[in-house]
Each structure stands twice: as structure tokens, then as C-alpha cells.
């Protein structure tokens, strides 16, 4: 049959700066993260890509459990009559829903939606489970596939089916629900920075960018190399909107029957798209070590039939695995140069070279993916018995570089503007995150969007001294980051 | 709103021996493993039930990785035209498929099936990925939800949507594929015995019980307390049936283009149903320690305002967590008796009692869930500083008891019969696993099924000396376990 793109001879990926979109697609395919599938809008997450997702899951799941949450699993299918109970919610999601109308050869009496998100089915269950204030809070997370009808397909960024987690909590009062919403926003921010090495702006969305049915939506927003923002996770305070629609009521300590306050919050495999675009370079991926399926790869060098380095690499790899490192030995019958390019494309943070002379000297050579020839610390000779410690240091170093470079980019592409014309020009030019004093009005936002394609990403408090909205001249009530976005 | 069944006052669950089915449903609901959902055929896996699934996943996933497999994720939806390429497969699954016909308000030009299993979509991708013998074997597993149209709903045993794993591999020759099929069968058998504490019979299914499209299907079969067998996992040698239908071909070392040999193998949350039925008793669940979300629960006893035991329990629990134990402290404002019943219902393997006098003596009391009042080793007084070791011993002891009791049951309910009338009577009576010399003919099997409702569960080789099929008198070619089944 025809060769799939990833099986065609490895060609140079296009330079990242020249065409981010072409670079992105090439890297996703050639690094074997994903394959396009015969199902429109759906991609296959291949083992190396799934390895990224497993590490994201492990890191995020530990944070959810540390903040008191438990996992559960709710049905994929939602009856149409249930979905339509919360008016804003159904209006927001109905155009994106895939409908099941037949089971076997039987036509259903009621259509079933494939979940685009699970507030509806989870709210319905919470209504059954909650009776008194003693049953609150409920703190549940679900790892699941969801589906939203899409025409376009862009790996991780825009697909019909995607993997995500969705947290859903119910509380006895508004303050607790708000606290939870902000707690999980902070979990996402901290994860983005310390695991994915991506600095983000976190804040509240404007009213028009809120989740359908939410009282307040918060997000973390990253800035991509093309100057477009990427919303990387959201956390919603749903107030009593869903508890009223789905009857989540309880007897409070004062004996009165009240509606609960609910929240929901999610991060999807989109985060991996942000990671790829933020850190990659012209040689391919650069994966932050905590997400890397392979933290270090041994490339043993065989010279004139002397293959002692292969055996030694396997022994050293086994020792590192016991210490908890994710390592591989590439003992394929290929040239070192081929292997270097192979693993650089795949973004492995550290390469460990070992040849016959290294075996004699009981050394190895660590090569960091974040460094290039000419950098002082590109290669380090390390004694075998100091390898684990040196590898830890090297991995921490790679994370630090990736984060510092991304932070430098975000900082140098965030513009605090005071001038209306400059603001509109910066939005139109995709200069980055444009930070202005803002009026908070939907009309103003709509006007900016129509003129420049930029929208508010999220908002933050006035610093003091701002009086008027830079975009329209009305009184300023807050600050907002404007940017074009994915 | 109306109280859900699990929120109604805790009533005695019915005795297990009197009505297994009523006992089973009551335990699943009252122990808060599952809730029925508003979606016909679908249940919610609640946090405590999901905790069981997480432990199953962790244990099984480690075994898959140790045998060289990687995880990946494939699309939920399968175009109808793809599904129909393998004739036996589509015939077997078409009646069970849920069909998506609309996306948003748009009617689709081709219907999409929600995966009932993923051979089709995965085979299609393997065809793209495989080019030469160097690309083989492919060893991939997927953790996923699948959907098969069902009228009945029985938690874990029979639901429309269920969680499972499905392994899919491709190999260069028939011998390797068969070896893989048998390797994974053995992984399942070993998991059943050493993790779920369930002894099983493993062997090949008869031709009529094969997976649609398989050359050979193997299974592990457990025996439930009502004398019915429960198929707990299957492993399929698919030969070249799927590689021919989906064009998984490759250039072999000899330069010839050949079809690959594929396998698939799966275990679902059904295994949890087997575990519940096998081990539970009139007080509720008895969970084998390796699957237990909570291995041990502290019940501190407060006497006359002396609540030092609560603080001490928390300290001891923290120390045990550092040692890797999954423990909880029940410091709710309820009586000890209420708490004992609560955790016994939930099958926690070990209870740790601690009162003021224990605090003074620096002791705790371990109470094993597999023992009852009167047993010598029901309660053990343990010094605080010996707690971790004693808990390990107690947990191992609980596993050993559960396995031994299940093995005793399986052994005493396996009947090696030589007589036709006795065989038919035993099948009809649901006496257990009825082991006979068998002809292997589908007609014979169909006759037994029509007369007794029993089917072959799986087969094993003749021991030697058998000449005729006990069921029909034709020449015997193998031995088979017959039983009625779930």
C-alpha cells in the first residue's frame, strides 16, 4: 500500500520560523506522535505520543489526588432530553454534538448525544447522591474521551474526538465553590510551568468567552511562537445554574433545602500541542523532561568490531531504571549520526554517548537537547559512577532552559499599551499578548475582534491609575490580555 | 428528590447463598461501587468502584509493559464501510453497534459506528505503519471505553458501555502470533490468581464460541458461587484474517510481500464482577488486597472525651502511607459498630482498631476481613513499631485465604464425568465445571446447549485413554469444561 507520511524517507522538517503550521504538522507526524485516521477529524495517538499523555496524566492526577479529588467514570452517551435542561449549555454545545440514533437495527425513541463535556450527566448523578450538607463537597475527576463536531483536523489542537480530564465538584456554598475553581486554576498554572515548562497568564475570561452555563470562567493562556495565544486549561464556577437545572439540592445545617454550587475544570491533550509549539526547534521536538517518554537515550558507538559499549550501555541503563529514570538504549544497526537525528527529532532531553574509549575510561558523554554545538555545556564527560546524579542535573537543566526561553519569549512579546492605534495595530499584527486597561464591555470586545481578529484571553485587576479603556475610551474596570488565538 | 438506593438507610443485604443475584446488586449499590444512570444499559463507576479499576489497570498495565507492549489511543468512531470489510467480524458485531448518523444538525453521508472493539480501526492503521519485517512486531495496548448494544443492565457483567483494555499485535509469522496469544492468556491467568485471587481454567474456546474473525480464541474461565462460569478474559489468534481484510502486508526478509499475522486480547471491568461474586460474603465485599482502594482502615475509639486515639491513628496512617500502604482513618462522629459494618460492607481487607488503652500500651489491634469472631487469628494485638510488617503479613494472609477458599470451591465443583446421563444432569443442575472427554463437534455442543443451557467454556488436551465423547458417543478429540455461563 501507499506509504504513510511517517514512513517516507526522513526529510528535513521545514524551518520553524518560516512556517510554524507546516513545521508543527511535520514534527507531529515524523516524530510519530500521531497519525491521521480514516475518520474525519480524528487522529491516532501513537505510542510515543501516548507516552507524553501518560506522563501528563500521572503528574496531573497526583495533583488532583493531593487536593482531595477522586476519579470516577460516567456514561459516554447523554439522552437529548437531559442535555436540553440547562438553556445556555445546550445552546453552546448543540451545534457540536454527534448524535446516536440507532442501536443495532433498531431506531431509538430518543436520540443520544456523545458527551461533548459531562456537566449534564454528572450533575444528574450528583442530584441522586446528595441529600444533606454532610454529603458535600463532592470532589470528582474523570479522565475521558469527548467529542465535538469539527471540520478541521490539527493534531492536539483541533480534533473531533479528544482526550481530556474533567473535574466536577459540588459545594454547600458559593465561597467554597469559588475557592475550588481558583484552586484548580492554580494547579493548572503550576503544572504548566513546572511540568510542561510553559509560562502562562492566568485570569478570568470575559463574559462573552465564558463556558456556556458558567458564572465565571478562568483560564491559563500560553503564547505561541506565531504570536497567537493558546488557551491551555479552563476552570469554571458554575454557581447554581447546573444545580437548579439538574436538581442538585441538599438540606443544609440550618434545616433549609438549598441548591448546591458546582464547578468544573478541564485540561486536554491540547496542552501537548502547546508544549510542542513552544519548545520545538528546527531539529524537531524538545520535550520537557517531566513529560518525556524517554528522558535519556544511550547511543553506543561500535568501532572496528569493538561492541563493548553496547553491553556497557545496557548495564548503565538498567542501573538508571532502578533509580527511576526512563531510559533507552538504541542498539540498532544504524550510524551514530542517524541515531542522533532520530532522537533529536523526538525531543529526548539527554543523549548519552558511549564508545570503546569511554568504556576503557569508565566515562560517558552527556549531550543536552537544549544546547547546540558551540555552547559551553553542550557535552559533558561524566564518570560512570556519577552518572545518575549528573543525569538528574542535566534533566533539571533542560527544564530550566526550556522554561527560561519560553518566559523570555512571553515577556518580550507582552506589550503594555496606552495608545489606541498602537493597540489595534499590535492586535492585527499578532505581536503577542497585548495588555491594556479595558472597559469590560462585550460591545468593545466585539469591535476589536471584528477589526483585528483578536479577542480577550483573560483579565486581571487594574494596577491603579488607569482611567479609560485603551480600545474604546469608556471607563476602565479591569486589565485584559488581547491576542489572536488558536 | 427521591433518595437513590445507596442513600436509603442501610438495610441488611440479602444472604448471598439465598439469592446471589439480589445479593450482588445490593452489594454493588450499597458499597457505592456503581450507580444506575439515566442512560439505559449504562452505569456510573463511583469513586470506590473506580479505585478497584485503577488498581486493576496499574497491575495489568505493568504486566503489559514488562512483556514489551506500549499504550496508544485510536478513534472511538469507525466508518461503516471499514467495519464491513471482514465478513465474520461485521456479522458478529453489527447487531450490537450504536450508530452515529448526525453531527450537529448535519446528516452524515456515511454512518459511524461507536467501537464495539477496535480490530478494524487498529488494523487499518497498522496497514499504514507496516512496510517491512523490520517494523514488526507491533505490540500495542489501548485502555478504552467500548459500546455494545444491550437491553439488560448488570453492573460490571452486562452493560452497554464498558471499560476495558484491548491489546492488538502484528507479527511476521504464524508461530510468533500464536506465541503472543498464549503469552497474554498466561498474563491474564496469572493476574486472576495473584491479583484478583481467583483461580481459573485457561484453554481454547470451541469453534462456535470463537471471536468473530479469529482463527483461535483462548479464555480464562472462573466459576461463580451459583455454579455458572464467568469468562474473565480472552486472547485471540486472528491469523491473517484481519491482515487480508485490512491490507496489513509487509516485505519479508526474503523479499516477498506477505500478510502479517495479528492477535487481540482483552480484559474488561467484568473481572471486577467476578471478584465481587467470588469473594463476597453476607457482610458484603471481601476485596483481595492488591485490588483494594483501601487496604486498611483505622477506626479510632474515643472514650469519655479521650480522643488521643484519633491523633495517634492519623500519625500511624501517615507512617504507613510512606511505606506505600493505602490506608484511611475513619474519624467520623459515628459509633465503632457503625464504622465496622461500613468498612466490612466495602470489603476493606484489614481494620485497625485503636483506643485509649492501646495508645497507652503503644499497641493497635488488627482485624482481618477474611476471618470471623471465633477464628484464632481474627484479631491480633500488634505493637505500634511492628505495625508495617504485621500489616503486610495480614494483607498477604487475606489474599491467601480468599484464593484458597475460591480454589476449594472450584475444585469441589469441578466434576470429571464418564456417564452421559450424569453429564446432562450436572449441566442442567449448574453443578459447576463439568469436565468431559469431548468430540469437538459443533452439533454435539448445540445439542447439549439446547438440552441443558450449558456450553463449552474452554478445552484442554485428552489425558490419555479417553475414546468416546461423553456427551454424544462419537470419538473424543479433546477434553472440555461445560457449564452454564454469565
ipTM of predicted assembly, 2 dp: 0.95
Q: What count of other Cβ atoms lies within 10 Å of the Cβ of residue A91?
A: 12
Report the residue of chain B nearest A61, measured CA to CA.
Answer: B54
Q: Smallest CA–CA separation between B142 and chain A, in Å?
A: 10
Q: How far is CA B445 from the centre of its chain?
A: 26
Query: Which pairing describes strands A77-79 and A433-438: parallel, antiparallel, or unpaired?
Result: unpaired
B302's CB contacts (< 8 A; 6+ apart) are: B309, B310
CATH topology (fold) of B20-279: BirA Bifunctional Protein; domain 2 (3.30.930)
Given a cut of 70, whether residue A1 has pLDDT beyond it is: no
Classify residue A353 by its DSSP letter.
E
Given a cut of 70, whether residue A9 has pLDDT beyond it is: no
pTM of the model: 0.95
Q: Which residues of B touch A106 (CB under 8 A)?
A: 149
* Cell reading at A326: 526512563
Given a cut of 70, whether residue A19 has pLDDT beyond it is: yes
End-to-end C-alpha distance for chain A, whole angstroms: 35
Q: Which of residues 159-188 of B touch A (CB under 8 A)?
A: 160-161, 163
| Integer Cα distance of B178 and B218 in angstroms | 11
The mean-pLDDT minimum among A348-362, A364-378, B431-445 falls in A364-378
A121 CB within 8 Å of a chain B CB = yes
> Within a 13 Å sphere around the CA of A208, how many CA atoms are in the beta-carbon half?
12
- Alpha helices, DSSP H, located in B12-154: 20-30, 47-66, 80-83, 87-93, 119-129
Q: Which residues of B touch A125 (CB under 8 A)?
A: 35, 37, 44
Q: What percent of chain A has pLDDT over 70?
A: 98
How confident is the model over A254-296, as pLDDT tens digits?
Answer: 999 999 999 999 999 999 999 999 999 999 999 999 999 999 9
* Mutation choice for A interface testing from B10, B85, B100 by most A CBs within 10 A: B100
Q: CA–CA distance from B408 to each of A224, B298, B317 (Å)?
A: 63, 31, 35
pLDDT of residue A11: 66
| Integer Cα distance of B187 and A284 in angstroms | 38
Classify residue A477 by its DSSP letter.
-
From the list B75, B196, B98, the residue with the least C-alpha distance to B147 is B98
| Integer Cα distance of A299 and A307 in angstroms | 12
Q: Which residues of B touch A35 (CB under 8 A)?
A: 125, 128-129
How confident is the model over A42-53, as pLDDT tens digits?
Answer: 999 999 999 999
Q: How far is CA B308 from the centre of its chain?
A: 42
Nearest CB to B95; choose among A47, A104, A144: A104
Q: What count of other Cβ atoms lies within 10 Å of the Cβ of residue B178?
A: 17
* Cell reading at B28: 454493588
* Cell reading at A323: 533509580
| Integer Cα distance of B187 and B189 in angstroms | 6
B338 CB within 8 Å of a chain A CB = no
Contact B309, B355 (CB under 8 A): yes
Nearest CB to A101; choose among B35, B99, B129: B99
Report the residue of chain B nearest A69, measured CA to CA.
Answer: B47
Does A137 sit behind a cis peptide bond, omega within 30 degrees of 0 on the bond before it? yes
Contact B287, B276 (CB under 8 A): no
| Integer Cα distance of B383 and B277 in angstroms | 35
The architecture (CATH level 2) of A296-402 comes to: 3-Layer(aba) Sandwich (3.40)
Given an 8 Å threshold on Cβ–Cβ distance, is A44 in contact with B149? no
- Looking at the DSSP bridge assignments, the partners of residue B434 are B415, B482
Cell 478474559 found at: B233
Report the residue of chain A nearest B102, measured CA to CA.
Answer: A99
Edge-first strand order for the sheet with B327-329 is: B327-329, B296-300, B350-354, B363-368, B379-383
Classify residue B374 by its DSSP letter.
T
Q: Which of residues 75-94 of A touch B (CB under 8 A)?
A: 75-79, 82, 94
Given an 8 Å threshold on Cβ–Cβ distance, is B38 in contact with A124? yes
Given an 8 Å threshold on Cβ–Cβ distance, is A73 in contact with B50? yes
Given an 8 Å threshold on Cβ–Cβ distance, is B72 in contact with A47? yes
How confident is the model over B49-59, as pLDDT tens digits?
Answer: 999 999 999 99
| Integer Cα distance of B200 and B193 in angstroms | 7
Does B43 sit behind a cis peptide bond, omega within 30 degrees of 0 on the bond before it? no
* Cell reading at A336: 551514530
| Integer Cα distance of B191 and B182 in angstroms | 14
Given an 8 Å threshold on Cβ–Cβ distance, is B46 in contact with A72? yes
Cell 504485621 found at: B390
Cell 452524515 found at: B108
Contact B354, B329 (CB under 8 A): no
Q: Which of residues 234-263 of B touch A (CB under 8 A)?
A: 247, 249
Q: Smallest CA–CA separation between B12 and chain A, in Å?
A: 20
* Mutation choice for A interface testing from B9, B41, B77, B269 by most A CBs within 10 A: B77
How confident is the model over A183-237, as pLDDT tens digits?
Answer: 999 999 999 999 999 999 999 999 999 998 999 999 999 999 999 999 999 999 9
B6 CB within 8 Å of a chain A CB = yes
pLDDT of residue A2: 47
Contact B167, B117 (CB under 8 A): no
Q: Smallest CA–CA separation between A114 and chain B, in Å?
A: 9
Q: Smallest CA–CA separation between B235 and chain A, in Å?
A: 21
Given an 8 Å threshold on Cβ–Cβ distance, is B98 in contact with A82? no
Domain residue extents for chain B: 20-279, 296-402, 414-483
Q: Which residues of A touch B140 (CB under 8 A)?
A: 47
Q: How far is CA A129 from the centre of its chain?
A: 32
Largest CA distance in chain A: 85
* Mutation choice for B interface testing from A49, A74, A80 by most B CBs within 10 A: A74
Nearest CB to A145; choose among B70, B72, B76: B76
Report the residue of chain B nearest A73, measured CA to CA.
Answer: B45
CATH code given to domain B414-483: 3.30.110.30
How confident is the model over B142-160, as pLDDT tens digits?
Answer: 999 999 998 888 999 999 9
Given an 8 Å threshold on Cβ–Cβ distance, is B96 in contact with A104? yes
The mean-pLDDT minimum among A3-12, A93-102, A358-367, B236-245 falls in A3-12
What does pLDDT average to over chain A? Answer: 95
pLDDT per residue rounded down to tens, chain B (486 residues): 444 555 444 467 999 999 999 999 999 999 999 999 999 899 999 999 999 999 999 999 999 999 999 999 999 999 999 988 877 878 888 889 999 999 999 999 999 999 999 999 999 999 999 999 999 999 999 999 999 998 888 999 999 999 999 999 999 999 999 999 999 999 999 999 999 999 999 999 999 999 989 999 999 999 999 999 999 999 999 999 999 999 999 999 999 999 999 999 999 999 999 999 999 999 999 999 999 999 999 999 999 889 999 999 999 999 999 999 999 999 999 999 999 999 999 999 999 999 999 999 999 999 999 988 778 778 999 999 999 999 999 999 999 999 999 999 999 999 999 999 999 999 999 999 999 999 999 999 999 999 999 999 999 999 999 999 999 999 999 999 999 999
Q: Which residues of B touch A73 (CB under 8 A)?
A: 44-45, 50, 53, 145, 163
Q: CA–CA distance from A29 to each of A21, A22, A154, A166, B35 (Å)?
A: 13, 11, 11, 27, 41
Amino acid at each position: 500500500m501507499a506509504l504513510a507520511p511517517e514512513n517516507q524517507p526522513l526529510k528535513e522538517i521545514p524551518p520553524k520560523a518560516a512556517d510554524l503550521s507546516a513545521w508543527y504538522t511535520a514534527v507531529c507526524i515524523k516524530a510519530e506522535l500521531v497519525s491521521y485516521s480514516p475518520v474525519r477529524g480524528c487522529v491516532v495517538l501513537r505510542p510515543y505520543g501516548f507516552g507524553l499523555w501518560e506522563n501528563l496524566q500521572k503528574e496531573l492526577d497526583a495533583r488532583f489526588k493531593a487536593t482531595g479529588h477522586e476519579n470516577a467514570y460516567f456514561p459516554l452517551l447523554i439522552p437529548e432530553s437531559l442535555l436540553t435542561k440547562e438553556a445556555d449549555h445546550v445552546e453552546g454545545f448543540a451545534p457540536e454534538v454527534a448524535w446516536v440514533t440507532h442501536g443495532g437495527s433498531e431506531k431509538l425513541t430518543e436520540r443520544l448525544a456523545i458527551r461533548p463535556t459531562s456537566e449534564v450527566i454528572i450533575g444528574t448523578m450528583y442530584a441522586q447522591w446528595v441529600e444533606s450538607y454532610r454529603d458535600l463537597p463532592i470532589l470528582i475527576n474523570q479522565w475521558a474521551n469527548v467529542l465535538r463536531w469539527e471540520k478541521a483536523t490539527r493534531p492536539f489542537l483541533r480534533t473531533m474526538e479528544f482526550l481530556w480530564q474533567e473535574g466536577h465538584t459540588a459545594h454547600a456554598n458559593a465561597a467554597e465553590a469559588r475557592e475550588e475553581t481558583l484552586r484548580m486554576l492554580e494547579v493548572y498554572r503550576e503544572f504548566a510551568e513546572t511540568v510542561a515548562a510553559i509560562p502562562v497568564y492566568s485570569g478570568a475570561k470575559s463574559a462573552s468567552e465564558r463556558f456556556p452555563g458558567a458564572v465565571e470562567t478562568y483560564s491559563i493562556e500560553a503564547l505561541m511562537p506565531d504570536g497567537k495565544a493558546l488557551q491551555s486549561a479552563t476552570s469554571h464556577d458554575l454557581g447554581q445554574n447546573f444545580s437548579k437545572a439538574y436538581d442538585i439540592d441538599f438540606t443544609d445545617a440550618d434545616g433549609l433545602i438549598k441548591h448546591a454550587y458546582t464547578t468544573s475544570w478541564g485540561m486536554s491533550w491540547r496542552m501537548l500541542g502547546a508544549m510542542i509549539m513552544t519548545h520545538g526547534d528546527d531539529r524537531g521536538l524538545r520535550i520537557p523532561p517531566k513529560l518525556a517518554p524517554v528522558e535519556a537515550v544511550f547511543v553506543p558507538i561500535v568501532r572496528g568490531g569493538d561492541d563493548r559499549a553496547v553491553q556497557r550501555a545496557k548495564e548503565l541503563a538498567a542501573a538508571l531504571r532502578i533509580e527511576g529514570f526512563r531510559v533507552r538504549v538504541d542498539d540498532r544497526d544504524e550510524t551514530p549520526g542517524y541515531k542522533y537525528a532520530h532522537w533529536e527529532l523526538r525531543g529526548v532531553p539527554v543523549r548519552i554517548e558511549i564508545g570503546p574509549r569511554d568504556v576503557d575510561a569508565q566515562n560517558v558523554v552527556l549531550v543536552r537537547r537544549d544546547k547546540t554545538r558551540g555552547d559551553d555545556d553542550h557535552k559533558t564527560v561524566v564518570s560512570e559512577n556519577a552518572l545518575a546524579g549528573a543525569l538528574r542535573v542535566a534533566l533539571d537543566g533542560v527544564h530550566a532552559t526550556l522554561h527560561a526561553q519560553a518566559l523570555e519569549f512571553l515577556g518580550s512579546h507582552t506589550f503594555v499599551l496606552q495608545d489606541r492605534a498602537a493597540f489595534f495595530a499590535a492586535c492585527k499584527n499578532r505581536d503577542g499578548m497585548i495588555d491594556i486597561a479595558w472597559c469590560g464591555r462585550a460591545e468593545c470586545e466585539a469591535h476589536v475582534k471584528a477589526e483585528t481578529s483578536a479577542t480577550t484571553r483573560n483579565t486581571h485587576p487594574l494596577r491603579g491609575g488607569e482611567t479609560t479603556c485603551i480600545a474604546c475610551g469608556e471607563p476602565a474596570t479591569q486589565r485584559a490580555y488581547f491576542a489572536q488565538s488558536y
